[in-house]
Structure 1
Amino acid sequence: MPTPIAEARSTSLRNHLALVALRQGEGNGDLLAGLLRTVYLTYLVLDGDDTGSMDEIALAERALRGCVDNYSAQHCWQIPEASCASIEAVLRMHDRQLAAVPVHRLEAAGRRLSQILATGDFPQISPVPRR
Structure 2
Amino acid sequence: MAKYVANVIHTTDDRNHPVVLIELSNRPGLFCGMDRADWEAWLEAGRSQSLYAQSGGGGVNRKFQVAYSDRENGRTGYATLVARSIIQPPPGKVVRRLSGDPLDLRRCNLRLMDRKERRKIGGW
Structure number with the bigger relative contact order (C-alpha 8 A, sep ≥ 6) is 1
Specify which structure has the higher proportion of strand: 2
